[in-house]
Amino acid sequence: MTPPYFSAMARRAHEPPISWLMRLKLERPDLISLAAGFTDDETLPVRHVRALVNRLLARATAGRAALQYGTTAGLPALRSLLLDRLRQQDEASYEKLTVDDVVITNGSQQLLYLITEVLCDPGDVVLVEDPTYFVYLSILQARGVRTATFASPADLSAKLDALQKRGWLPRLKLVYLVTYFRNPTGHTWSWPMKEEAWRILRRYERAAGHPIFVLEDAAYRDLRFDGEDVPSFLKLDPGNRRVLYTNTLTKPFATGLKVGYGILPAPVRRAVLRAKGNHDFGTANFLQAILARALEDGVYQNHLQRLAQTYRRKCHTLAAALGEQFPHEIPEGGLYIWTQTPNSEPTGFRSRLFQRALRAGVLYVPGELCYAEDPSRPVPRHFLRLSFGAPTLAQIREGVRRLQAALRSSEPSETGRRGQPVAVAPK
Ligand SMILES: Cc1ncc(COP(=O)(O)O)c(C=O)c1O
């Protein structure tokens, strides 16, 4: 319990479940984690980063610049390279965008936090997909922001109407979307879906009385292993007024470098930079300099091709192991497969299945964590998010075998043998 003299925010903030899952894995190395969104260890670019660092430090002037403080917005060379890359990916000239519109942060997670901090007061509303990235839900919960959910663009109008009836529309600040290989479902927003959602949102702005921003979280965009890329929402917003685009270099290159970035409309960018100034007045210059060189030399882009092969293989291995027992779709990228139990058996931390899985030595993310609070629908309890990022192929197969064993032993005939929970999960 956080003592009552702590701030309201500290009292609202629970330990994010992801921290508990990550700690558990560290405490029990025997566990196979199909839970955390860690990336593949073998492909981490050790040799490339060594060469980049050596080159960076080979000349004293460049070395000193990289070892000095930078600016709050980030290294201009990196921001410029990221803007070029976006122009290529979206096949758009984005003439109105400049390096000034790009902000570098400590992972995209920091940017998600800063954006929410500068736009939302307690009691404001954020509309999220159902289900969504559960760590973002922790930010909203800690900051006292209310949530509403929608399942697809077809559902969006009805949801906005409902918000209008409840008088919540003037408090609706943004719509948060994970548009590429969504964490947790693996779904990607097609271009027609983006166009439809964009049209609908614009219709409700007058009633809201202020812009309704689209917070497009593209964290997995560079982790595509099949199919064609889709342009970002920025292409629908040539004046750069409504789209807050966030992306990261962590998952596609090295999570340990923890550098993310965003492209933000000027008023939001200025507010985010003021807040970031208070948080840390700039992301580590040295890390940015490494990544700028990786992009400049094509090391980053080449690395993505290697990753695509690795993750395609891992994804298909997981899908094959899950078979028909755990129904699922195969994503075209990202790190996750979303599945459900046969017979709708609950999967939550305190469920029989989770506790037995833990005993059997396998971890997963209970799907219920990915559903925001929304009294207009019950929270489905029988989904699981499985990650194929970190485990090896053998661990993926063994992890699913353990999950199947846990499922068998938690079936109703076993009810009488239900044991004590073996680990206390966060609330
Ligand atoms: C959807 C999504 N957005 C953002 C992040 C944050 O990643 P990072 O801070 O490493 O850029 C993650 C990490 O798992 C994620 O899954």
- Going from the Cα of 354 to the center of ligand 1, the distance in angstroms, rounded, reads 24
Which atom of ligand 1 approaches the CA of 37 most closely?
14
**Structure-block tokens of residue 37:** 């969104």
How far is 259 from 104, CA to CA, in rounded Å?
Answer: 7
Rounded to whole angstroms, how far apart are CA atoms 51 and 148? 47
Q: Is 133 in the pocket of ligand 1 (CB under 6 A)?
A: yes
Q: Which two tokens stand for residue 410?
A: 């938690």
Cα dist from 4 to 7, 12, 197, 287, 426, whole Å: 8, 11, 42, 39, 20
pLDDT, the chain, mean: 94
By CB atoms closer than 10 A (0-12, 13-18, 19+), residue 1 is: exposed
Question: Over the stretch 169-183, which tens digit does the pLDDT of each residue have?
Answer: 999 999 999 999 999
- Using a 10 angstrom Cβ sphere, with 0-12 exposed, 13-18 middle and 19 or more buried, the burial of residue 198 is middle
Q: Is the predicted pLDDT of residue 70 greater than 60, yes or no? A: yes
Q: What is the DSSP letter of 338?
A: E
Determine if ligand 1 sits within 6 Å of the CB of residue 219.
Answer: yes
Instruction: Report the residue among 183, 189, 221, 253 best suited for mutation to probe ligand 1: largest number of ligand atoms under 8 A from its CB.
Output: 183
Pocket test for ligand 1, best of 217, 244, 259 (most atoms within 8 A of CB): 217
Q: Which two tokens stand for residue 310?
A: 């690795």
**Pocket flag, ligand 1, residue 109 (CB < 6 Å):** yes
- Asked, as a colleague might, if the bond just before 378 is cis with ω within 30 of 0, I would say no
Over range 25-35, report the average pLDDT.
89
Mean pLDDT over residues 136-156, rounded? 95
* pLDDT value of residue 425: 55
Q: What is the mean pLDDT of residues 3-32?
A: 87
Query: What's the one-letter identity of residue 100?
Result: D
Whether 254 lines ligand 1, by a CB cut-off of 6 Å, is: no
User: Where do the structural domains in the chain lie, given as residue ranges?
Assistant: 8-44+301-417, 46-298
The best mutation among 18, 182, 244, 251 to test binding of ligand 1, ranked by most ligand atoms within 8 Å of the C-beta, falls on: 251
pLDDT over threshold 90, residue 37 = no
Closest to 77 in 3D by CA, of 293, 265, 270, 262 = 293
- What is the CA(36)–ligand 1 centre distance, in A? 11
Q: Check residue 227 and give left, alpha or beta (phi > 0: left; psi -120 to 50: alpha).
A: left
**Pairwise CA distance, residues 249 & 19, whole Å:** 21
Best residue among 135, 280, 291 to mutate for probing ligand 1's pocket (most ligand atoms within 8 Å of CB) is 135
Which of ligand 1's atoms lies nearest the C-alpha of 255?
A: 10
Q: What is the mean pLDDT of residues 369-395?
A: 95
From CA 406, how far away is CA 395, in angstroms rounded? 16
Kindly state the helix (H) or strand (E) to which residue 226 belongs, with its residue range. Answer: none
CATH class of 46-298: alpha beta
Q: How far apart are CA 401 and CA 229, in angstroms?
A: 34
Whether 247 is in the pocket of ligand 1, judged by its Cβ within 6 Å, is no
Give the ligand 1 atom nearest the CA of 258: 10
Question: What is the pLDDT averaged over residues 310-318?
Answer: 98
pLDDT value of position 27 = 87
Q: Which ligand 1 atom is at minimum distance from the Cα of 110?
A: 9
CATH class of 8-44+301-417: alpha beta
- Which residue's CA is the closest to the ligand 1 atom numbered 3? 219
Average pLDDT value for residue range 252-256: 96
User: Could you tell me what percent of the chain has a pLDDT over 70?
Assistant: 96
CA-closest residue to ligand 1 atom 5: 109
Over residues 386-408, mean pLDDT: 96
Does the beta carbon of 217 lie inside 6 Å of ligand 1?
yes
| Range scoring the smallest mean pLDDT among 181-190, 236-245, 251-260, 418-427 | 418-427
Q: Where are the beta strands (DSSP E) in 304-382?
A: 336-340, 362-363, 365-366
What is the number of residues in the chain?
A: 427
Residue 248 in contact with ligand 1 by CB distance below 6 A = yes
Ligand 1 contact, 260 CB (< 6 A): yes
Provide the 3-class DSSP secondary structure of residue 328.
Answer: strand
* Per-residue confidence band for 158, with pLDDT thresholds at 50, 70 and 90: very high
Structure tokens at 102: 């790009």
Give the pLDDT confidence score for residue 412 in this predicted structure: 57
Residue 427 pLDDT grade (very low, low, confident, very high; cuts 50, 70, 90)? very low
User: What pLDDT, on a 0 to 100 scale, did the predictor assign at position 416?
Assistant: 39
* Amino acid 204: pLDDT: 96
Q: Does the structure show a pLDDT above 60 at 419? A: no
Predicted confidence band at 418 (pLDDT cuts at 50, 70, 90)?
very low
Is any atom of ligand 1 closer than 6 Å to the C-beta of 184?
A: no
DSSP string, 104-128: EESHHHHHHHHHHHHH--TT-EEEE
pLDDT at 16 over 90: no
* Number of other CB atoms surrounding residue 127 within 10 Å: 26
pLDDT tens track for 189-240: 999 999 999 999 999 999 999 999 999 999 999 999 999 999 999 999 988 8
Whether residue 185 has its Cβ less than 6 Å from ligand 1: no
Residue-level pLDDT at 411:
65
The verdict on the CB of residue 183 being under 6 Å from ligand 1 is yes
For residue 314, list its beta bridge partners: none
Could you identify the residue written with the tokens 């309704």? 212
pTM to 2 decimals? 0.95
Q: Which residues contact 98 (CB under 8 A, 6 or more apart)?
A: 83
Confidence of residue 423 (pLDDT cuts 50, 70, 90): low
Residue 108 Cα, ligand 1 centroid: separation in angstroms? 6
What count of other Cβ atoms lies within 10 Å of the Cβ of residue 115?
28
Residue 323 has pLDDT above 70, yes or no: yes
pLDDT digits (tens, 9 = 90+) for 324-346: 999 999 999 999 999 999 989 99
CB of 288 closer than 6 A to ligand 1?
no
Residue located nearest, by CA, to atom 14 of ligand 1: 37
pLDDT at position 420, please? 40
Whether the pLDDT of residue 424 is over 80: the answer is no
Span 382-393, average pLDDT: 97
The CB of 128 under 6 Å from ligand 1? The reply is no
Contact 263, 101 (CB under 8 A): yes
